[in-house]
Chains A and B, each alone.
Chain A
Amino acid sequence: MPRRRSTIRSPRVRIQPLGDTAVLAELGSRLDTALNTRAIALAAALKRRRDVRQAVAGHASVTVSFDPDQITHDALAAAIRRLATKRPPMEEPGRLHRIPVVYDGPDLDEAAERLGLTRQRIIDLHGRPIYRAFLVGFVPGWAYLGPLPDELVLARRATPRTQVPAGSVAIAGQQTGIYPLDSPGGWNLIGRTTVKLFLPDSDPPSLFRAGDRVKFFAIEA
């Protein structure tokens, strides 16, 4: 079968109001690098408009705050649709971060059991891909990284922990992440790192930015 060229099939964008001065533009609902690349490009293009106050990409969407004195909701929606059909500019490869991890998380044994894998196999699998930072947000410095290898896809814990230590490396669903601060959390903790994710005295204050690449490697405790 001939391979289809990777043109953008007229993308269906779902644009819905978020109140009277913002909209949510959804490009899709899958965890997908191409969708995320388009979302980040769309946010960047929207940010250049004078009638847009703020545009931030999600995994497969863009949240857009606008100035209703300069543009109506409907006109903005039309502009977003126009921009979304444009082929995104060639994406520069995101910065690559190599993160050392001590794989001794409190959920490693349970994860091994639930996944039917050995501890070592989890460690090998987790360190294999170069992950993408899909979205930085939720709490300061947190990045949703993925996609995980299929063998590591695991539901979050039934009961979230009330306190997860900063630096915990965790997996849930198709994603992995590092807790930047001590906080409650429901992801499965498989390891820890000393790398600081939240850098309050830098600008921007997060080590990871959307579109960056992240590779984990195992170190001894």
Chain B
Amino acid sequence: MTETLRVLQPGILTTIQDVGRPNAVASGVPPGGAMDRFAHSAANLIVGNDRGAATLECTLTGPRLVAINSCVIAITGGDLGPSIPMWTAVMLAAGDEVSFAGRRSGARAYVAIGGGVLGDRWLGSMSTNLMCARGGMHGRALIAGDVISTGEWHDPPVAGRTLGEPLRPDYGDHRLRAIPGPHYSRLGHESQHELWNASFTVNPSSNRMGYRLDGASLRAPADELLSFPVLAGVVQLPSGGQPILLMADHQTAGGYPVIATVTSASMPMAAQLAPGDELEFEETSIEVALSARAAQRAALESLTS
């Protein structure tokens, strides 16, 4: 274990995240983990980590960090105006600083460090769960003065390893591909039409649990359902008619009709939306969704060859 970076300013919300704790959902604990799994994996692979290692998830305004020891880092995801090139391995010497000038596009940037960020492990994951105050940096967001430690690093540094621009997600595309959900057929024709044609706005109360979507109001089917386990990407429709898109820290079960599910390849784009951003849903098929997923995986695999 090496003390690698010190936090000078934490930013609005910077947390330690890995790929979450999917087995904890049977106890009602949200799976958690990085919101944008593509950016998270890419950052790790660029610095030579396993793709599941923990990174720093930086929200809207990034942190200001200073290197305690020399290290290799990569910043991916949303463009929050970092002081180093994005999607590229960068060598820091002790005393070097990294800062973020402000949001240009997207909502969440990921900082991977060679060796992987270390945090408290809870139920099999280092991901920070703020509600339960467990995991990551003692269950809380980073604060000034925190020291980020990293694990053993085996990979020799690949100076300048980078993910080319054509292989990165198009975060400017706010059309989220989605597949009709199990209860889609219970929507009336008008509401089905609205779902695919209306523009929705991410409500200010949105967070890592989920996004409330303003804009078009859909008519919810009247019948209540017995609760069932749900997943990130699910679009629920409560009786008020305002859909909710579930994200990484979602409640594990719900009884609202599920009218659509955002595809795995569109979830990185969803993760880069901030309150006030507009989005649309675009109906797609499982086949098209899987080929988009395969393209993203091929992009990540290009980093390991």
Residue A135, interface by CB 8 Å = yes
Q: Select the stretch in B22-30, B49-57, B106-114, B160-168 that faces chain A.
A: B22-30
Q: Which B residues lie within 8 Å of A26 (CB)?
A: 182, 228
Q: Within the assembled complex, what's the spacing in Å between the Cα atoms of A63 and B23?
A: 13
Which residues from B are CB-within-8-Å of A144? 227
Contacts A68-B293, A138-B252 given; indicate if A20 touches B286 (C-beta within 8 A): yes
Which B residue's beta carbon lies closest to that of A60? B226
Q: Which chain B residue lies CB-closest to A24?
A: B182
Contact B286 A141 (CB under 8 A): no
Chain B residues whose C-beta falls within 8 Å of the C-beta of A29 in the assembled complex: 225-226
A29 to B252 Cα, complex, angstroms: 19
> 0/1 per residue, A59-77, Cβ < 8 Å to B?
1110101001000010000
Measured between C-beta atoms, what is the minimum distance from B7 to chain A in Å?
A: 25
Q: How far is the CB of A213 from chain B (nearest CB, A)?
A: 17
Query: B134 at interface (Cβ–Cβ under 8 A)?
Result: yes
Known: A24-B228, A26-B182, A56-B229. A140 touches B27 (CB 8 A): yes
8 Å CB contact of A56 from B25, B224, B251, B263: B25
Expressed in whole angstroms, the minimum distance between the Cβ of A163 and any Cβ of chain B is 15
What is the bound-complex CA distance between A200 and B263, given in angstroms?
32
B230 touches A63 (CB 8 A): yes
Is the beta-carbon distance between A138 and B123 smaller than 8 angstroms?
no
Contact with B along A71-110 (1 / 0, CB 8 A): 0010000000000000000000000000000000000000
Complex: how many Å from CA A24 to CA B181? 9
Q: Does A54 contact B (CB under 8 A)?
A: yes
* B261 contacts A17, C-beta separation under 8 Å: yes
A112–B286 alpha-carbon span in the complex (Å): 51
User: In whole angstroms, what is the CA distance A210 to B123 when docked?
Assistant: 18
Tell me how many residues of A have a C-beta within 8 Å of chain B: 45
Contact yes or no, B290 A138, CB < 8 A: no
Majority secondary structure of chain B interface residues (helix, strand, loop or mixed): mixed
Whether B229 pairs with A137 at a CB distance below 8 angstroms is yes
B234 within 8 Å of A (CB atoms)? yes
Name the B residues within 8 Å of A206 (CB-CB). 26-29
Give the shortest distance, in Å, between B90 (CB) and chain A (any CB).
Answer: 33
Contact of B227 among A19, A20, A54, A59 (CB under 8 A): A59
Q: Interface 1/0s, chain B 198-237, versus A by CB < 8 A?
A: 0000000000000000000000000011111111011000
Q: Does B179 contact A (CB under 8 A)?
A: yes
Check if B86 is an interface residue, CB within 8 A of chain A: no
User: B26 near A19 (CB under 8 angstroms)?
Assistant: no
CB-CB under 8 A from A136, the residues of chain B are 26-28
A135 touching B132 in the complex, CB below 8 Å, given contacts A18-B181, A59-B228? no
**Closest chain A CB from B126 CB (angstroms):** 15
Q: In the complex, which residue of chain A has the Cβ closest to the Cβ of B139?
A: A200
Q: Taking the complex as formed, is B258 at the interface, i.e. its CB lies under 8 A from any CB of chain A?
A: yes
Task: Using CB atoms, name the residue of chain A closest to B287.
Answer: A20
B132, B182, B225 — most chain A CB neighbours (10 Å): B182
Q: What's the nearest-Cβ distance from chain A to residue B133, in Å?
A: 8
In the complex, the answer to whether B253 meets A22 with C-beta atoms within 8 Å is no
Partner of A137, one of B179, B252, B290: B252
Residue of A nearest to B25 (CB): A56
Bound Cα distance from A152 to B261, whole angstroms: 36
Minimum CB–CB distance from B230 to chain A (whole Å) comes to 7
How many Å lie between the Cα of A14 and that of B184 in the bound state?
Answer: 14
Report yes or no: A58 in contact with B264, Cβ–Cβ below 8 A. no
Contact in complex: A24, B258 (CB < 8 Å): yes
Q: Which residues of A contact B179 (CB under 8 A)?
A: 17, 19-20
- By beta carbon, the residue of chain B nearest A29 is B226
Q: Write the B10-53 contact mask toward A (1 if CB under 8 angstroms, else 0).
A: 00000000000011111111100000000000000000000000
Contact A56 B286 (CB under 8 A): no
| Contact A54-B123, Cβ < 8 Å, known A19-B289, A20-B289 | no
Query: With A136-B27, A173-B224 given, can you name 4 additional A-B contacts, CB distance below 8 Å?
Result: A18-B181, A136-B28, A140-B132, A205-B29
Write 29 A-B pairs (CB below 8 A) sorted by A numbering.
A14-B182, A18-B181, A19-B179, A19-B231, A20-B265, A20-B289, A20-B293, A21-B264, A22-B261, A58-B229, A58-B253, A73-B286, A136-B26, A136-B27, A137-B26, A137-B27, A137-B28, A137-B251, A137-B252, A138-B251, A138-B254, A140-B27, A140-B29, A140-B132, A141-B27, A204-B27, A205-B27, A205-B29, A206-B27
Chain A residues proximal to chain B, CB less than 8 Å: 14, 16-22, 24, 26, 29-31, 53-54, 56-61, 63, 65, 68, 73, 135-142, 144, 173, 180-181, 198, 200, 203-206, 209-210
Across the A-B interface, give the 5 residue pairs with the lowest CB-CB distance, nearest first.
Answer: A58-B228, A137-B253, A19-B261, A206-B27, A20-B289
